[in-house]
Structures are given as C-alpha cells and as structure tokens.
C-alpha cells in the first residue's frame, strides 16, 4: 500500500516530536534537583535537549535518507542533476536557527531574572569598595574652578540576589563563605558559629556572602545548579532556597593550586528542626573566648575585656593579687 507523501511527512513529524520530547524529559544527565533554582535551570536544559534531539534526528535522518534514496545505481555512470541552489531551502535552514536562538535567549534571560540575577540589591558601589580596600579616597573629576564634580555610582552586579518575589527582603539565613587554599570555611554571623561544612534548612531563603582569602576559587553545588566565583577582596552574593534535605558536594570549580581537586566539602540541607538542633549544639560548644569576642568591647570593663586573654599572657590570680597589693602600697 502506497502512503501519500503528505501523510508520511506528518507521521514522521509526529514521531520526531514525540521522541524529542521523551528524550528531553528523560535524558538522566542531571543530578537530583535539590533547590528551587535547580528546577528553573532544569526546565531550560530540558528544552535545549528537546530541540537538540529533534534537530539531530532531523539532520541525521535526512542524511541517511539521501544516502539510500540518491545513491548511485549499478551500471549508472551518468552525472547527477546540476543543482546550483535552492533559495527556499536556504531561507528555511537560516530562519529556523534564528528563531531557536532568539527563543532560548529570551527563555534563559527569564530564568536568570527569576533566580535573582537582576536583583539591584546584589549590586555594589565598586568605587566605594575599591576605596575601602585600598584605604584611600578615589579622586573625583574637578571643574575649571577646582570644585569636585558629582559622580554617578557605578553599579556592578556581583552574584545572584533575591528572586522577584523576595526582592528587598532579608534572607532567612545568612552565611559568610571564605574560600582559601584548599578549603571552605562557613561562618554564621548571627551566632558566631564556624563550620567546615555548609548547614542550611530546607525551604528557607539562604544568602551566601562569598569571598576568597588568596586566589580565585569557584563555589559550586551541582545539585543546586549554582556556581559563583570567590574573588579575593570582593564580596559576592549568592542567594537560593534549598528544597530537598540531604548531603550534597561543594566543589571548587576554579583551578586554584596543586590541591585544587581536594578542595571539597558538604552542603547539608536539614529540616528546620534538625537545623535548629545542629545550631544549638554548635553554639553550646563555642569556647568562652569566642563568645566574649562576639560582645561589644565598649560595654566591658577592663577586667572583663582582658580576662579571656589572661591565660595566653601567662597571668594568674596570684599575679593579679601581687599587682593589687603593690598598687595600694
């Protein structure tokens, strides 16, 4: 039975679409999506996979079809038809990639915005930052009379901030992240807790303030689909919402030295109850001098301020009594 070419083309198009959609959604190339941002990235990646699979099957299918359809027959030594060009076909294979690229560009821009890439609070006045780091003011241009002219603040986005829904709101959990050869150090400014692992609660908005002590590093959690450079002398913001409790690898994705491959740790996502219990246990284990340093020295007397350092200075209670007695005499 002969099938009309239009019906055959339609059936081939349906099969191509179904195969592309299935492979695009079931490729299994990505690890578990453990954050809300991961779902956005996976949606974009799956769309690109769907389009790529469709184009691959279409192009390779056309090649295989042409190999068999237009192959040289036995005994046929004639030349092929002198085809010099096909304007319609050239417009088609030029127009389709243009539409695909524009569509993916708009889609990726929207994903970047939803992840917080356009949050103005994630930008900083870099002029002030540089002045602060160098300990000097930046010279401003002056007019003909010698008066300094006002300058516009140069806002440069550093990292990923809050999503449009939470823009302008403080994060539920803030963690300072320091990268150094060859480890990550996490500190919780509200409690003074330090850790070699990142502990965060599931379902809460988390903000990481990332910097580096020595060279460039890159903070990467594959399951969160997040990667951010750690830059010496600059604080970079990374904001996200973990979703699935578990342990996930934190990897340095920037070649930073001889032991770069060993610069790994864990990001542990807890339930809220487990996170509170972990934080309480860490606070309870803080040494006394750490708690003292967290206090405002202006509110302490001289004795209270110096007490944590007495042992390090070799000062005992007997020494203090001798000092008191000699002072009164």
Q: What is the pLDDT of residues 163-190, one digit of tens each?
A: 777 777 888 999 999 999 889 999 999 8
The enclosing H or E element of 249 equals: strand 246-252
Which residue in this structure is represented by tokens 């930052």? 129
Lowest mean pLDDT across 58-67, 105-114, 145-154: 145-154
5-22: pLDDT as tens digits = 788 888 888 998 999 999
User: Average pLDDT over the chain, rounded to whole?
Assistant: 80
Q: What is the distance between the alpha carbons of residues 85 and 174, in angstroms, rounded to a whole number?
A: 62
Do 236 and 229 form a contact (C-beta atoms < 8 A)?
yes
Which residue in this structure is represented by tokens 């209270």? 304
DSSP classification of residue 122? G
pLDDT of residue 154: 45
Q: Kindly tell me if the per-residue pLDDT of 264 is higher than 50.
A: yes
pLDDT of residue 220: 94
Lowest mean pLDDT across 114-128, 182-196, 279-293: 114-128
Report, as an integer, the average pLDDT of 193-200.
93
Report, as an integer, the average pLDDT of 280-303.
61
DSSP class per residue in 159-219: EE---TTTTTSPPSEEEEEEEETTEEEEEETTTTEEESSEEEETTS-EEEEEEESSS-EEE
* Residue, of 234 and 5, whose pLDDT is higher: 234
Tell me the torsion sign for CA atoms 222, 228, 231, 233: negative
51-106: pLDDT as tens digits = 999 999 999 998 998 898 888 888 888 887 887 888 888 898 899 999 999 999 99
Q: How far apart are the first and last CA of the chain?
A: 122
DSSP classification of residue 121? G
pLDDT of residue 120: 65
Do 275 and 199 form a contact (C-beta atoms < 8 A)?
yes
Q: Kindly tell me if the per-residue pLDDT of 204 is higher than 50.
A: yes
Q: What is the distance between the alpha carbons of residues 213 and 132, in angstroms, rounded to a whole number?
A: 16
Query: In the structure, what pLDDT confidence band is assigned to residue 44 with cuts at 50, 70 and 90?
Result: very high
Lowest mean pLDDT across 50-59, 152-161, 276-285: 152-161
Report, as an integer, the average pLDDT of 16-43.
92
CA distance to 44, 222, 314, per residue, from 109 (Å):
10, 20, 61
């Amino acid at each position: 039975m002969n099938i009309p070419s239009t019906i055959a083309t339609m059936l081939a198009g349906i099969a191509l679409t179904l195969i592309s959609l299935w492979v695009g959604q079931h490729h299994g190339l990505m690890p578990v999506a453990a954050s809300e941002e991961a779902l956005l990235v996976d949606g974009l990646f799956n769309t690109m996979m769907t389009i790529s699979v469709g184009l691959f099957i279409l192009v390779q299918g056309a090649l295989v079809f042409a190999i068999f359809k237009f192959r040289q027959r036995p005994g046929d030594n004639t030349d092929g038809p002198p085809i010099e060009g096909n304007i319609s076909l050239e417009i088609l294979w030029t127009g389709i990639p243009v539409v695909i690229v524009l569509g993916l560009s708009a889609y990726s821009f929207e994903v970047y915005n939803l992840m917080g890439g356009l949050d103005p609070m994630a930008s900083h006045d870099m002029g002030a930052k540089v002045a602060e780091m160098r300990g000097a003011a930046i010279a401003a241009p002056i007019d003909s009379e010698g008066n300094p002219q006002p300058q516009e603040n140069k806002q440069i986005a550093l990292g990923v901030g809050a999503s449009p829904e939470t823009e302008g709101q403080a994060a539920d959990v803030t963690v300072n992240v320091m990268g150094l050869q060859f480890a990550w150090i996490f500190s919780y400014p509200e409690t003074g807790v330090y850790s070699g692992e990142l502990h965060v609660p599931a379902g809460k908005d988390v903000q990481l303030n990332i910097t580096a002590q020595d060279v460039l590093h890159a903070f990467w959690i594959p399951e969160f689909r997040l990667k951010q450079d750690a830059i010496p002398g600059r604080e970079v913001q990374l904001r996200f919402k973990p979703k699935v409790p578990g342990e996930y690898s934190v990897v340095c994705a920037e070649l930073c030295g001889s032991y770069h491959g060993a610069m790994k740790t864990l990001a542990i996502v807890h339930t809220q109850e487990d996170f509170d219990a972990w934080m309480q246990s860490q606070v309870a284990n803080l040494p006394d001098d750490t708690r003292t340093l967290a206090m405002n020295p202006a509110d302490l007397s001289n004795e209270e301020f110096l007490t944590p350092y007495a042992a390090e200075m070799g000062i005992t209670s007997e020494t203090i009594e001798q000092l008191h007695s000699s002072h009164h005499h």
